A and B are shown apart, each in its own frame.
Chain A
Amino acid sequence: MSTTTSGQPAPEKDSPTSAVSGAEIVFDNVVKTYPGQSTPAVDNLSLTVPAGKIVMFIGPSGCGKTTTLKMINRLHEPTSGTITIDGEDIRSKNATELRRTIGYVIQGGSLFPHMTVEENIALVPGLLKWDKKDIAARVEDLLELVGLDPSRYRNRYPKELSGGQQQRVGVARGLAADPPVLLMDEPFGAVDPITRQRLQDELMSIQEELQKTIVCVTHDIDEAIKLGDRILLLSEGAHVAQYDTPQEILSNPADEFVEDFVGSGSSLKQLSLSRVDELELQQPVIASVGDEGSAAAAAARAAGQKDVIVLDARRRPVGWYSLGEATRMSRLPQESHEDISVVDRRATINDALDSMLASSHGGVLVTGRRDEFLGVVTFTAVTEHIRSTSESSPS
Chain B
Amino acid sequence: MVDFIADKWQDILFRSYQHVSLVVQSVLLATIIAIALAVLVTQIPRLRSAANMISAIGLTIPSLALLGLLVPLVGIGTLPPVIAVTFYATLPILRNAVVGLSGVSPTLLESAKGMGMGSLTRFRRVQLPMAWPVIMAGLRVSTQMSMGVAAIAAYVLGPGLGTYIFTGLAQIGGANALNYALVGTFGVVILALLLDAVLLLVSRLTTSKGIRV
B210 and A124 form a contact (CB under 8 A): no
Known: A75-B110, A106-B111, A127-B121. A113 touches B116 (CB 8 A): no
Bound together, the chains give a CA A101 to CA B116 distance in angstroms of 8
Contact check, A100 vs B116: say whether CB atoms are below 8 A apart.
Answer: yes
A97 interface neighbour in B108, B114, B116, B209, Cβ under 8 Å: B116
Assess the B209–A124 pair: CB atoms within 8 A. no
Inter-chain contact B211/A127, CB cutoff 8 Å: no
A100 and B110: CB pair below 8 A? no
B210 contacts A104, C-beta separation under 8 Å: no
**Consensus secondary structure, chain A interface:** mixed
Does A239 touch B at the CB level, under 8 Å? no
A99 in contact with B210 (CB, 8 Å): no
B127 to chain A, nearest CB (A): 10
Chain B residues whose CB sits within 8 angstroms of the CB of A104 once the complex forms: 111, 114-115
- The B contact surface, by secondary structure, is helix
* Chain A residue nearest in CB terms to B128: A114
Question: What total of chain B residues lie within 8 Å of the partner, measured CB to CB?
Answer: 19
Q: Is the CB of B208 within 8 A of A110?
A: no
A114 smallest CB distance to B (angstroms): 4
Tell me the complex Cα distance, A233–B115, Å: 27
Query: B210 — which chain A residues lie within 8 A by C-beta?
Result: 113-116, 157-159
Cβ of B118 to closest chain A Cβ, rounded Å: 5
In the complex, B8 has a CB within 8 A of chain A: no
Inter-subunit contact A99/B211 (CB<8 Å): no
- Contact B115–A124 (Cβ < 8 Å): yes
Q: Is A279 part of the binding interface, using a Cβ–Cβ cutoff of 8 Å?
A: no
B208 is contacted by which of A99, A101, A115, A123 (Cβ under 8 Å)?
Answer: A115
**Complex interface residues of chain A between 95 and 110 (CB less than 8 A to chain B):** 96-101, 104, 106, 110
- Do A75 and B116 contact each other (CB < 8 Å), given the known contacts A110-B107, A113-B130, A114-B210? no
A180 to chain B, nearest CB (A): 14
A123, B115: Cβ atoms closer than 8 Å: yes
Which A residues lie within 8 Å of B115 (CB)? 99-100, 104, 123-124, 127, 173
Are A99's CB and B113's CB within 8 A? yes
| A130 interface contact, C-beta 8 A | no
Complex Cα gap A98–B100 (Å)? 30
Among B112, B116, B209, find the residue whose CB has the most chain A CB atoms closer than 10 A.
Answer: B116
CB neighbors of B among A27-67 (8 A): none
Q: Tell me if A167 counts as interface (CB < 8 A to partner B).
A: no
Q: How far is the CA of A99 from the CA of B116 in the complex (A)?
A: 5
Q: What is the CB-to-nearest-CB distance from B76 to chain A, in angstroms, rounded to a whole number?
A: 45
Distance of A114 Cα from B108 Cα, bound (Å): 12
Provide the residues of chain B in CB contact with A173, threshold 8 Å.
Answer: 115
Alpha-carbon distance between A139 and B26 when the two chains are bound, in angstroms:
43
A261 interface hit (Cβ, 8 Å): no
Decide if B126 is an interface residue (CB 8 Å cutoff). Answer: yes
Q: Is A257 an interface residue (CB 8 A)?
A: no
CB-based closest 8 A-B pairs = A157-B210, A100-B116, A114-B208, A99-B116, A104-B114, A110-B111, A114-B210, A114-B211
Given A97-B116, A100-B115, A127-B117, 20 additional A-B pairs, CB 8 A: A75-B113, A96-B116, A96-B117, A99-B114, A99-B115, A101-B116, A104-B114, A104-B115, A112-B108, A112-B112, A113-B210, A114-B129, A114-B210, A114-B211, A115-B208, A116-B210, A123-B117, A127-B116, A127-B121, A183-B114
A-B contact pairs, 28 of them (CB 8 A): A75-B110, A75-B113, A75-B114, A96-B117, A97-B116, A99-B113, A99-B114, A99-B116, A100-B115, A100-B116, A101-B116, A106-B107, A110-B107, A110-B108, A110-B111, A112-B108, A113-B208, A114-B130, A115-B208, A123-B115, A124-B116, A127-B116, A127-B117, A127-B121, A157-B209, A157-B210, A158-B210, A173-B115
